[in-house]
Amino acid sequence: IGRIGVLTSGGDAPGMNASLRAVVLAAKHHSIDVVAFRHGYEGLLNDDWQHMNESDVLHILQYSGTIIKSARSERFREADAPAAAAQVLDKHQIDALIVIGGDGSFRGAGHLGSVWQKPIVGIPGTIDNDLYGTDATIGYATAVETAMDALDKIRDTAEAMDRVFIVEVMGRHAGFIGLSSAMAAGAERMILPELQKQKPLTVEALVKHIENVQKVRGDSSYVMVLSENQWPGGAVRLAEQLEDRLHLPCRPCLLGHIQRGGRPTASDRILATRIGVHAVNLVMAGANQVMAGIIADQPVATPLADTWQQRKGLSEEMIQIQQTLFNPVKRTAPTS
Ligand code: ATP
């Protein structure tokens, strides 16, 4: 392998820069050239590229975003896109490509692989944690930390003002951020895609739960975590519906894109570095159409197609714990 290409694609995630840095430094260590295609697959189609040297990636691991830019590319989904991209890759004499992104980006890698048959290795860079083949994706831990931080702040005002808050977090298809941030911040309720699929919650059920928690605990503050796209009209509408029924101030809070930014946590930086180096090792070993991941503290490779076809489930134990802790039962006074 003389030269590898690298790109970041889809939604940006904290730690993408750290993984890019690891790829470049590891490749250079093995005297491999690195060419980055800027703006994901869109940049690949546009032949928007730059050489990557050690000096380009110094001191970037502490920053979110991606210095080589990311994008979504509708054009890349088209049937003739792989041939056009292959032409660009061949023009630059790229021997292998590393794609840093989420499941969509890996589908894109499969699409490209139908024409360009050199090694393509994926690095799981997405805050959603919804990829099979790695215990955690790069960016997930930071997103949970950010959501937890916001939930703690919301709790302060919920507590002071006796309010109900509905905090909308990212994760339209997977409730990892919702579940983990709810547990970390002690939120009383969570509405997650996986749970909604099993048994959709009604306003009545939520009202009953809020009233029960408030009555048993003697505390009117109540914080609910809502995964995006899980309620018609989102947190804003749900807050109105609850306020109508409870006659208590109910307020929505949409965390939005702050969940993608901030300083990556130590665990994300370490994960990104390990997976970045592992991806270069896989490329050098000739692996193709696999994702580099870490399972039970060991570097592993998983076929790209499995990463989205196989489902990584939420922890049943964590769901149970949340449901147990936040279903308070009023104790009858001891008789003796
Ligand atoms: P995240 O979920 O964190 O936003 P992602 O990688 O899943 O990251 P997507 O927007 O789903 O983000 O995908 C990124 C890009 O990958 C798309 O803009 C498109 O260019 C390409 N892509 C996605 N799905 C396909 C597909 N089925 N065929 C070809 N290309 C695809």
Check residue 219 and give its pLDDT: 83
How sure is the predictor about 333, in pLDDT bands with cuts at 50, 70 and 90?
A: low
Q: Whose CA is nearest to atom 10 of ligand 1?
A: 10
Of 16, 11, 72, nearest in space to 45 by CA: 72
How sure is the predictor about 52, in pLDDT bands with cuts at 50, 70 and 90?
A: very high
Rounded CA gap, 204 and 245, in Å?
A: 9
Q: Whose CA is nearest to atom 31 of ligand 1?
A: 108
Rounded CA gap, 222 and 327, in Å?
A: 13
Rounded CA gap, 249 and 166, in Å?
A: 11
Check residue 329 and give its pLDDT: 73
C-alpha of residue 105 to centroid of ligand 1, in Å: 4
Ligand 1 pocket member 128 (CB < 6 A): yes
Residue 73, CA distances (Å) to 44, 92, 156, 199 in order: 10, 21, 41, 35
Rounded CA gap, 103 and 305, in Å?
A: 9
Q: What percent of the chain has pLDDT over 70?
A: 98
Check residue 330 and give its pLDDT: 65
- Region 236-243: mean pLDDT is 96
Higher pLDDT, 268 or 335: 268
Give the residue, out of 64, 69, 72, with the most ligand 1 atoms within 8 A of its beta carbon, to mutate for a pocket test: 72
- Region 276-281: mean pLDDT is 98
Q: What is the pLDDT of residues 156-190, one digit of tens each?
A: 999 999 899 999 999 888 999 999 999 999 999 99
Give the residue, out of 8, 39, 76, 257, with the most ligand 1 atoms within 8 A of its beta carbon, to mutate for a pocket test: 76
Active site residues: 128
Check residue 260 and give its pLDDT: 92
- The answer on pLDDT for 336 being more than 60 is no
- The answer on pLDDT for 335 being more than 70 is no
- Region 57-71: mean pLDDT is 96
How sure is the predictor about 331, in pLDDT bands with cuts at 50, 70 and 90?
A: low
Q: Whose CA is nearest to atom 13 of ligand 1?
A: 104
Ligand 1 pocket member 308 (CB < 6 A): no
Ligand 1 pocket member 101 (CB < 6 A): yes
Check residue 264 and give its pLDDT: 98
C-alpha of residue 157 to centroid of ligand 1, in Å: 38
Ligand 1 pocket member 102 (CB < 6 A): yes
C-alpha of residue 48 to centroid of ligand 1, in Å: 18
- The answer on pLDDT for 328 being more than 80 is no
How sure is the predictor about 214, in pLDDT bands with cuts at 50, 70 and 90?
A: confident
Ligand 1 pocket member 260 (CB < 6 A): no
Q: Do the Cβ atoms of 164 and 128 come closer than 8 Å?
A: no
Q: Whose CA is nearest to atom 4 of ligand 1?
A: 11
- The answer on pLDDT for 301 being more than 60 is yes
Check residue 334 and give its pLDDT: 63
Ligand 1 pocket member 72 (CB < 6 A): yes
Per DSSP, the three-state class of 120 is strand
> Quick check: pTM over 0.90?
yes
C-alpha of residue 262 to centroid of ligand 1, in Å: 23
Residue with tokens 């059920």: 205
How sure is the predictor about 216, in pLDDT bands with cuts at 50, 70 and 90?
A: confident
